[in-house]
Structures are given as structure tokens and as C-alpha cells.
Structure 1
Amino acid sequence: MNGLGETRQLDTATRILDAAEALFVEHGFEATSMRMITQRAEVNLAAVNYHFGSKDALFQGVFTRRLTPLTQLAVQNLDRLEAAAQGEPVSVERIMRAFMDAALDIAHDPKRGGVIFVRLLSRTFIEAHPVLRESLPWHYEELVARYAKATAKALPELDAIELQWRLNFAFSAIFNAFAGNNILRLFVIDPVVNARDPRLIATYLVPFVVAGLTAPVTAKGAGSSF
């Protein structure tokens, strides 16, 4: 195949991925039909099947092209902090900012997905689509291990179980916030919260998450009192 043919195929695949990415954000995975994707991408169903084979494979393809840059940025940010710390613990605030700075870099770079991908990623974690449950750990294994290890070093007073609970809550809050969800709209007619501005979200989210991670150690046996 000549270069022109390869470019056209690449352009078609990219259009399909871009269309699917936007539609998954707008409607979710289950509500997005192949017909919607083909109409948005201006291609026929045969083109989607040729490049991806199935809706599940297309969904994974949307993430594969975006996850690597996010993971690399987040790990590189942490690498720099740990190198500067020269063996000393990095503060929890700086650890959380390292991760969110990576997300913000992606959110402000349309070539790497921009805010659309950040919201899609967040929405996917919240909705926990089965098609990604097996593939996501492979993409995130190093990222999760590095951030968990750095947080454990910063909070030596926490045992492994409590640390995992806190990280679970922390990243749940982060992904939910970046998904653009404004829970206050359920209770307040005109809330002032702007859940669509990633940088504003990070400004208020970092101290909230840090406060939860660094809260006093839970009393032993407290769980039995509920």
C-alpha cells in the first residue's frame, strides 16, 4: 500500500476514535450505538468493523491511545519529586498535585485528548464498564504501584488496609470531580460550583483530598461500632 492509502486509512481510524470518544462522554458506553458513531465519523459500519472489529474493541482503542501519555506524565512528575527529595518522603500534597498536574496537562492538550478524554476516563471509572476491567490494570499497574508506595512512605502511621481505603476514597473523589459531575445540582437550583473547569476543580480538590489522606489514624476496631 502506498503512503497516500496508509494516510487515508489512518485518517479514517482517527475519525472513528474521535467520534466514539466524544459520544461515549456525551451518552456513556451502553447508550452509544454503532450507528451514532458511524454518523458522527461519517463512515460506514464496514469501516468500523475493518479497523476495530467490535464496539468493545473500539472502546478499548479509545483508551489505549490516551492512557499511555497520561500514565507517563504522572510517573515522570513523581520521578522528579522523588529525585529532588533525595530519599526523604514526598509530601502527600505534592504527590496528589503530581497526579493532577498530569491530568491537567492532558486536559489542556487537544492532541492528547483534552478535557473530553479526562471526562471519559473519569466517567469510565465511575461506571466501571466490564470491557475495561481486564485491560485497565495492565495500563495502570506501574502508576498505581508508584503512587501507593510514595503515599505509604509519606504516611508511615497508616497500616496497609487503612492506606488502601484512603487511596480508594481519594481517587474516587478525583475521578468523580474530573468527570464534570455537579452533585449540588440535585439539591440547589443554581449552584456556584463550576464542575466543567478542570483547573478550578484541581484548585479546590487538592486540599480536600489531602485532608482526607492525612486525617488522624482511624481508631482500631472502629469499624465494629457501626
Structure 2
Amino acid sequence: MVVHNLRSDKFDVYKPLDAALPILSLSVSEVHEDLFAKGAAFGEPGGRTLVCGGDNGHLHVYTLMGNHVQTLKHKNDWSTIYAVTTTVTQDYYLIASAESLDPPKICIWAKETDERVKEKSLEREAQATQTFLEAQAAKEAQKVQEAQAAQEAQMLEIATLNRRYTFILCATLALIASGVILIIWLWQRGTIIFHGGLSSDIRVTMAQVEYC
């Protein structure tokens, strides 16, 4: 239990509730002239933090060991924070506070819960893993595409060489065939006479050609 002690202007924490003396006393005031009751509330699971209203437009957050964690500021630095409450949702720890000025101002602060922080951390890790896997898959796909492109280029080069060799071979065979046909034609007309039969030493004698 936390009580704002108007005599000392401190927040006294009692545990157990019927304890004669507080286990912790916190001073959050900077102005001690006019004493007004200020709000306080335990926050987060198990009441592990203590939120105390101040008289300078500030809201102070402490641990139960008395360590100051954070100062939350209202817009007006001279207001007294007389109402403080806390609650927990699925994703956030919430603090609401109201000041004493007219018109009063209510401020709400939110802090992500431990579960939400862990969930977001897991989401970031999953996203990072997915991004890494996608990058690896893209690299592998690029390697496959490059290999396919190289193979296609090699096959195209081979096909080009085959066409060239085929053309040269066909041209050579055509030339040989043309020569053979020409020789046979001339031989049939008696223009060329072969001597020596099948001897390896073949002599070709050009016959006299008469022109009319």
C-alpha cells in the first residue's frame, strides 16, 4: 500500500498493510508551501513500479527498491498531479494522471508489455530470417540463371561452329562433285583421254580441240 503523507509530504509504502512503519519513503515534491494530496498507484505486473504525482507538473516512476526510473511531464510545470491510476492491456502498460489546474489536463502514457516486446522481437527475428532466406534464394536463382545463360551461349557457339563446318564441308563436296562431273563430261566428249589404266601415275593429255 502507498500513502501520501501530508505531514512529511512523502509517499510511504507499507508492506504488509498493517505494518507500523513504511518500508520505503519517497520525496517527489519541490514545493512544500501548500500541501495537497497527490495521487499514486502501483504499475505493471505484480506492482513492480510505483507511480507518484508531484507538485511541479511532473509524474515520477520508481521501482519498489526506491530507484527512480523516469519522469513524465505535464505541459504545466506548476500544477499538482492529484490523480494517478494505472492499468494493463494485452499490449500496453497504461498510466493516466490529472492535474489541478482549471481546466484540468489528463495525460495518458503507454509502455509496451513484456509479452508485446518479446512478440515484436520474435517478429523482427522472423522477418530478418525471411529476408535472409529470400536473399539466399535470389542469389541461388541468379546463379542458376547465369549458368543457364552460359550454357545457352556455349550451345549457340557450338551450333554456329557446326553450321560453319557444315557449310565448308558442303561447299567442298560440291566443288569436288562439280570437278568430277566436269571431268566425266569432258571425258565423254573425248576432250580428255586417260592413259595408264588404273596406274597410280595417271597422265592426262588434252586432245586437240577444233573450233568451227
- Shared fold, TM over 0.5: no
TM-score normalised according to structure 1 size? 0.15
Structure with the higher fraction of residues in helix conformation: 1
Structure with the higher fraction of residues in strand conformation: 2
Considering Cα pairs closer than 8 Å and 6+ residues apart, tell me whether 1 or 2 has the greater RCO. Answer: 1
